[in-house]
């Protein structure tokens, strides 16, 4: 997402593409294949299609985006306010210096410290890649990797608290078929540079993947990561204006045991009216993360995407009320990460009727998906017994 209206395909063309890819859902398992377990993962990591903390606790993101790159003076108060609304995660906009003023390592260190102080998991994203191929000023994913390696000192040792979102919406509607190879190369370079963090990759087509490019190639991208620690992010705006489209897309990843989050979404947009009720309800039923766009400061005709007016935490907008206090909203469903002393997303009951293990895979030494807590069997979220 950018602060102004972006170019997108006409609705009818996007609809045709979505209809075609939705028709391929039955083939999702064969297209994707099953994903493996993270190899030598550190901190937040992926296992069996689930996002886990270092102790094995399931972690479901519930959060809000904040545009630090454009409003650095608002970051401190915004992170505190986002936490106060109940969020467990914040996605923070950074800039590589290609389109917007570069966010230096010292500044990133401060952001990470503020996230930790507010007990928020921090998803850091490089925004300059937005719409590459269609936006002539956008950076490449390779240039985004250059940025991350340049600020590596601010990130090493923060693997329990930070997810690196390599590049925001890295392709527009032009040359988006290059997304797969470019994303694989970016992941390879990040691992080669020594990053052990969970990496997040955004879909092409301005993040909405109407072409099904990310969905069809997610398994290949995931398996190209030697750490098997890559999270996929879909941005849901006008393309996802029906429950069927939302459910089809998210279920394709869940069925293929590939980790997916809704990295951005809203209740309205210039390219159509997203079904925010279906997005939030489906994410909750599938135990998937979502991150609403965005705290405040939107312009260019999309001011309705502000969660609060004028960075005032006491002035929730219509969208903010829905996101924070509505059904399946942040206040009702967010659980603080256990790294901060919270319960994470442990607890609750598995489909087979057994309780979920509060301590995740730490109580499952043989890896069969079953643990033992409080003198009874429990199920590890996302494990073989979670059926």
What pLDDT, on the 0 to 100 scale, is given for residue 349?
Answer: 61
* Paired tokens of 144: 């985004």
> Quick one: DSSP state of residue 207?
T
Indicate which residues carry an active-site annotation.
169, 264
> Quick one: DSSP state of residue 139?
P
Q: Mean pLDDT over all residues of the chain?
A: 89
* Range 263-277 average pLDDT: 97
Percentage of the chain beyond pLDDT 70 is 86
What pLDDT, on the 0 to 100 scale, is given for residue 358?
Answer: 65
> pLDDT for 135-157, tens place per residue?
999 999 999 999 999 999 999 99
> pLDDT for 279-297, tens place per residue?
999 999 999 999 999 999 9
> pLDDT for 323-357, tens place per residue?
999 999 999 999 999 999 887 775 556 778 787 67
Indicate whether 362 pLDDT > 80. no
Q: How confident is the model at residue 43 (pLDDT cuts 50, 70, 90)?
A: very high
How far is 121 from 129, CA to CA, in rounded Å? Answer: 23
Strand 162-165 versus strand 121-126 pairing type: parallel
Indicate whether 9 pLDDT > 90. no
What is the three-state SS of 26-52? HHHHHHHCCCCCCCCCCCCEEECCEEE
pTM: 0.84
* Paired tokens of 336: 């603080």
Q: Which residue is associated with the tokens 């990310």?
A: 214
């Amino acid at each position: 997402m950018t602060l102004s209206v972006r170019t997108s395909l006409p609705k009818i063309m996007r609809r045709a593409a979505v209809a075609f890819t939705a028709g391929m859902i039955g083939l999702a398992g064969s297209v994707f294949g099953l994903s493996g377990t993270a190899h030598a993962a550190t901190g937040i990591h992926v296992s069996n299609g689930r996002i886990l903390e270092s102790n094995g606790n399931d972690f479901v993101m519930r959060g809000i985006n904040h545009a630090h790159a454009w409003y650095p003076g608002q970051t401190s108060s915004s992170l505190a306010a986002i936490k106060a609304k109940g969020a467990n995660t914040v996605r923070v906009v950074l800039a590589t210096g290609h389109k917007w003023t570069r966010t230096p390592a010292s500044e990133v260190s401060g952001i990470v410290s503020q996230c930790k102080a507010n007990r928020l998991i921090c998803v850091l994203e490089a925004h300059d890649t937005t719409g590459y191929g269609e936006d002539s000023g956008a950076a490449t994913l390779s240039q985004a990797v250059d940025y991350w390696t340049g600020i590596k000192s601010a990130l090493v040792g923060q693997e329990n608290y930070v997810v690196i979102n390599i590049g925001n919406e890295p392709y527009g509607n032009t040359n988006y078929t290059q997304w797969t190879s470019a994303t694989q190369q970016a992941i390879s370079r990040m691992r080669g540079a020594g990053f052990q963090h969970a990496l997040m990759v955004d879909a092409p087509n301005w993040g909405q993947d109407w072409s099904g490019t990310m969905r069809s190639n997610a398994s290949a991208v995931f398996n190209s990561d030697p750490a098997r620690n890559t999270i996929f992010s879909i941005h849901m705006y006008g393309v996802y204006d029906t429950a069927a489209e939302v459910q089809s897309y998210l279920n394709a990843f869940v069925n293929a045991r590939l980790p997916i989050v809704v990295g951005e979404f809203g209740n309205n947009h210039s390219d159509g009216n997203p079904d925010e009720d279906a997005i939030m309800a489906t994410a909750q039923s599938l135990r998937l993360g979502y991150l609403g766009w965005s705290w405040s400061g939107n312009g260019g005709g999309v001011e309705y995407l502000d969660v609060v007016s004028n960075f005032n935490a006491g002035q929730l907008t219509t969208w903010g009320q829905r996101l924070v206090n509505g059904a399946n909203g942040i206040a009702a469903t967010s659980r603080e990460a256990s790294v901060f002393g919270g319960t994470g997303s442990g607890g609750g009951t598995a489909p087979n009727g057994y309780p979920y293990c509060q301590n995740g895979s730490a109580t499952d030494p043989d890896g069969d998906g079953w643990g033992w807590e409080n003198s009874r069997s429990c199920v590890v979220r996302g494990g073989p017994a979670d059926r």
